[in-house]
A and B are shown apart, each in its own frame.
Chain A
């Protein structure tokens, strides 16, 4: 596996070694190109949101913001096809509710699987891992039939309740509890007469806080982004924000780019705020291998 050849080390090996690790102008060229590619669509989305629709078709491309942002925002919120206000509120409510729920239920289950002794623990742990690989989106048709049975079609709870737990969340929490909560602490709390729920509430939850924040915000992002289920189960008069901007996108005859891009900007904004608050932690988590798609 190693690339060791039998040639003797060259005399200048030390200097050569240092040179190998150094960066070249090409390194920075590649990195800056990546940065520009990552940022350009986002920046351009914002620029068009501040201009008229014709700016989206302009060459050379508009690169600086214009002065029409407020006017576009007014038009967006007044648009009757999009129901943007409802969409925004619905998405905020659904994403927040699901995040709180996922963090609570997953930390509860993760704690039990990591620290409590009960028969079937291994089985349940494996079951959680298996659920992570299941493409649940495939069950979309029976899920809709189920919503009809419950009378939830078109209702906001239809985009909340099905997402209230996540196998990934349970597994992530389990790993984190294993790393952070020593068994001795559990024993001591037991001897002091703490009930299991009290151990969870007063000892485990506070220690889990960093992982909970990351899981909560990832969940927020996922629910905020959810698209196929929202357009299947909701109606245009009670949409989520993604459904709402899709309504603007689908009205093909009068494609009002300024309006669409203003909507797109709003649909991205909460995620960008999360990114600026939490980006560094997220990078750390992904690099620990804690986060999967």
Chain B
């Protein structure tokens, strides 16, 4: 219902600006329109492309680009939920940020969780892809189940995993107890909490990445492997000396995508942290940068300071992206 209304304006616009209008009925398909028709069709040719791309750029500009740039403006101000804009304070928010232990802690947590999530994730994905690249029976069934976690609701599964990683009655601790291992304080201990969150992330993304790798592996020419086999290279050797080098661009692509996503990590740790304070555990053990932004801006109402943190996060994502791009082009020119 709403969608139809929203779809209507542009189509209406196109209908009267570039249309053939009454001068040229639709069923008449002739090459020689009247002078009015010629005028309209030249307007159509000139204006339509811009009208067609306008909705994307206008909406993105208003709700994507503007807020992003306005973040910088807000970060230079004392700006709160209640008081609104309370004046220009220059770089004060940034000065405060660099001496704020909570900020450094959240950055450490974000980068730490990223590293312990992404390395096993990509390694296991590579191994899974290599496994599926054999003459496996029921390949499409395995592909389907591997992509299943990617489809599910992040918040719902974070709730399930939060219970699985419960300290007292969590299934994982009970299983450990069954094996004679002491229960682990998954929320209380910093590095275990990182591990639990990394596991949630990897559960979702490993199969997805495995499929991307599998696609890349299938495009490696078979005769390369045949030649290697004929020369007596073992399966293991082939994996490390043919598959991995051939997949390098794909691996870098997945690293870039993971970096952009993981730097903004929010949902899993926010739900793992019961109570909704965005504290990330009692001591902020697993408070990510995005959680800190949320806490400062929407729990404490510090829009200005929250924006400064958000902007530093943005710069960090851009920086990591650039490092990735430089590495990619280095590797490209090297090969």
Contacts and interface: CB of A to CB of B under 8 A. Distances in A.
Are A and B a genuine interacting pair, yes or no? yes
A131 B57 CA distance: 10
Given A41-B157, A41-B164, A101-B7, A35 B145 contact: yes
Nearest to B58: A165
Contacts of B306: 141
Interface residues of A, number: 118
Contact of A42 (B63, B152, B168): B152
Given A22-B134, A139-B67, A165-B59, A3 B3 contact: no
A232 B298 contact: yes
Contacts of B258: 293
Interface stretch (B108-116, B190-198, B313-321): B313-321
A225 B169 contact: no
B96 interface: no
A27 B68 contact: no
A142 B64 contact: no
A57 to B, nearest CB: 3
A134 B64 contact: yes
A154 interface: no
A38 B162 CA distance: 16
Contacts of A9: 230-232
Nearest to A13: B230
Contacts of B19: 195, 197
B230 A160 contact: no
Contacts of B162: 249
A161 interface: yes
Contacts of A265: 156
A260 B152 contact: no
Contacts of A139: 64, 66-71, 310
A135 B315 CA distance: 10
Contacts of A134: 64-65, 68
Contacts of B62: 146
Interface in A29-59: 30-31, 34-35, 37-39, 41-42, 44-45, 56-57, 59
Contact of B207 (A38, A135, A144, A263): A38
Interface string A1-41: 11111110110010011001111000110110011011101
A13 to B, nearest CB: 5
B49 A267 contact: no
